[in-house]
Structure 1
C-alpha cells in the first residue's frame, strides 16, 4: 500500500518584512497565493526510513535525515507515539516545483509527507495538530498544507485564510543557480543597517484585489521587501524582470527569497507570450505558466 499527496508551490504576492527579532527571525506580513505547480509525495512502508527524488532539480534535494519530508514523517511518528521501526517509510518526491527557487518546494514536500504518513498510518490527526507540526518544521510549511490564499503573520506561520474572487495567471522564470533564504535575510539586514525597519502590514489594496479577482489592481499592489536583497546577491535577475515586463506582464517580482522571478499576466494567452519571450531571451533556464489559487496538500 502507498499514499500519494499532491502539494502546490506558492508565490508571495506581498512579503512585508520587519526588523530582526531576538530569535533571529523577522516578523512578516506575508500574503501567500498557492499556484498550480505541484510536487507529489508518495509514502510506502519500508524496512527503514529513506528518501528518493525524481524530476527537475532532484539532484539538489537532500536524501538524508535533513530532508524536510523525512523530518515531517519522524515528527508525526513521535507526536503519535509510533516507534521508529513502525514508522519506517520510503518517501518518494516527484519534483515539479523549482528547487531553491523561493516557491516553498521543500515546505510543500514536508506538508505532503505529513498528510501522506497520516493517511498511511490511519492516524486521523486533526487539522490543528497537523498545522502545529507544520509550524515546527518551517515558516512556509503551514501554508503548503492549506493552499488557496492566506495572510501569514509572526514569522509567516500564523495563517488567516483569504477570499479570492477569480483566477490569476502567472509565469515563473527559473534562474540558473539558487539563493539561500538565510543569506537573503542577512543581506536584508545589511541593507537596512542603521535604519529603523517599518512594522510589516498587509496592504488593504492588495487584499481587495484578491477578493474581487482584479488582476490589474493586484499588479499595482504586489510587493516583496526581500527583492532588493535578492537583487543585490543575484544582479542578473534585473534583466529577467525587465524582459517579462517588456513582453506584456502586468507586474514582476522576485518570488519570496528568490531567485525565481514571478510575472502576473492579464490572461492565459498573455502568460504564454511572456513565457515564450523569457525563454527566447536566455535570461532563465525555464519558464513555467500556472494559474492561482490552487488547493493545498491533497491525497490523490
Structure 2
C-alpha cells in the first residue's frame, strides 16, 4: 500500500452483506416510515471497494452479480458517503471509488448499505481523518437504516428505524445457504405492499399494538449458538409482502425445507432467500440440491466482522 501525504494512496475495504434473522414491522408512522425490531447477522458474502484520491467524486461498479441497476451518479449511496466524510473534515478534493459487488442488488441483504459503510471507512483511512467509530456511526445513520450495522458487523439488534443498534452476543457459527433470485425487489414497494395487505386483513399479519421488539428466544438461541432454536423463532414480517409480489419464491422455500434446511426465510425485503442449515455439511448438501434444481445457491456463514481495511 503506497502512502500519500495524509494517508495511503489507495485503500481497499471489504464490507459484508447481512441477513435479518428476525424482523418485526410496526404500523406505518405519520412520516411514512415504519418502526422495526431487527436481529441482524453479517455473513461471509462481501462487497469490495477501493478508494483513491481524485479531483472529483466518481464511482465505477462491477461484480459477480447483475449490477445494471446500480447508479453511478450522486444517487449512489457509497458516493454520498464519501461526500459526507469530505464535508465532515473540510476536505476540498474528491475521490474515485471502485466497487466490486458480490451481494445481490435489491436482494434484501443490504449490499448498497455495505458499499456506503465501506466508503466511510475507506475515505476515513485515505484522508487520514481518524474520525473514530462514534462519528462514523453518526454519518452512517444519516445514509440509511442498514448502514450503521454494516460498519459494526457481527450480530446486532436494531430498533427504531433499525438504526438504533446494540451488539448481540452470538456464539459459534451459523451456516446459511442463500438462493439468489433473478431481478430485485424495491424495499419501499415491499413495505407499501405490506401496508396494503394489512389494511385489508383481519388475520395475523396485522401489526401488534405495542412497539416492535425482538423475541427473547431469538437472542437466547444466538447466545447458545443453537441453530435449531434460532430456526424455531426466525421470522420476517416483510415475507408475506415479498411473496405476494414474487409468488414464484414460495416453491423454492418449500424445496429448501424439504431438502433439509432447518428453516427458510425471505432475507429483508427479498427476493434473496436464506436457509439455515444444521452445520456446514448439511449446508453443502442443501447447496447441491438447490443448485441441481437450477437455482443459484451460495453457502455462507455468520457472524463476520463489519467494514474493514484489508
TM-score normalised to structure 2 length: 0.93
Equivalent position SS for 1:122:
coil
CA distance in 2, matches of 1:298, 1:243: 36
2:130 aligns to what?
124
Contact 1:243–1:281 (8 Å) recurs in 2 = no
3-state SS of paired residue (2:232):
helix
Post-superposition offset of 1:103: 0.3
- Structure 1: which 5+ residue stretches go unaligned? none
Cα deviation per residue 1:235-260 (whole Å; 9 max; x = unaligned)?
A: 00001101111110001000000000
Matching residue of 1:14? 22
The aligned counterpart of 1:90 is 96
**2:306 counterpart (274, 296, 300):** 296
Question: Structure 1 residue aligned with 2:284, among 272, 276, 279?
Answer: 272
* Paired residue secondary structure (2:68): helix
Matched, 1:35 2:43: yes
- 8 A Cα contact 1:184 1:226, kept in partner: yes
Matching of residue 244 in structure 1 with residue 250 in structure 2: no
Q: Which residue of 2 aligns with 1:105?
A: 111
Shift of the alpha carbon at 1:61?
A: 1.6
Aligned-residue CA RMSD (Å): 1.0
CA distance in 2, matches of 1:57, 1:299: 25
C-alpha displacement at 1:81, in angstroms?
A: 1.8
Q: Distance in 2 between matches of 1:261 and 1:149?
A: 19
Alignment partner, residue 223 of structure 1: 235
Partners in 1 of 2:184 and 2:111 — Cα distance?
A: 13
**Distance in structure 2 (CA, Å) of the matches to 1:70 and 1:61:** 12
Give the equivalent residue in structure 2 for 1:133.
139
Q: 1:235 aligns with which of 238, 242, 247?
A: 247
What CA distance in whole angstroms lies between the structure 1 residues aligned with 2:29 and 2:36?
A: 11
Q: Is the 8 A contact 2:159 2:213 kept in 1?
A: no
Q: Structure 2: how far apart are the matches of 1:158 and 1:207?
A: 17
Q: 2-side partners of 1:108 and 1:270: how far apart?
A: 28
Structure 1 residue ranges, 4+ long, deviating more than 2 angstroms after superposition: none
Indicate whether 1:54 and 2:62 are aligned: yes
Structure 1 contact 10–35 (Cα < 8 Å) conserved: yes
Match of 1:193 in 2: 199
CA distance in structure 1 between the partners assigned to 2:232 and 2:52 by the alignment: 46
2:84 to 68, 75, 78: 75
Superposition deviation, residue 279 in structure 1: 1.7
Give aligned pairs, total.
295
Query: Which residue of 2 is the match for residue 287 of structure 1?
Result: 297
Partner of 2:265: 253
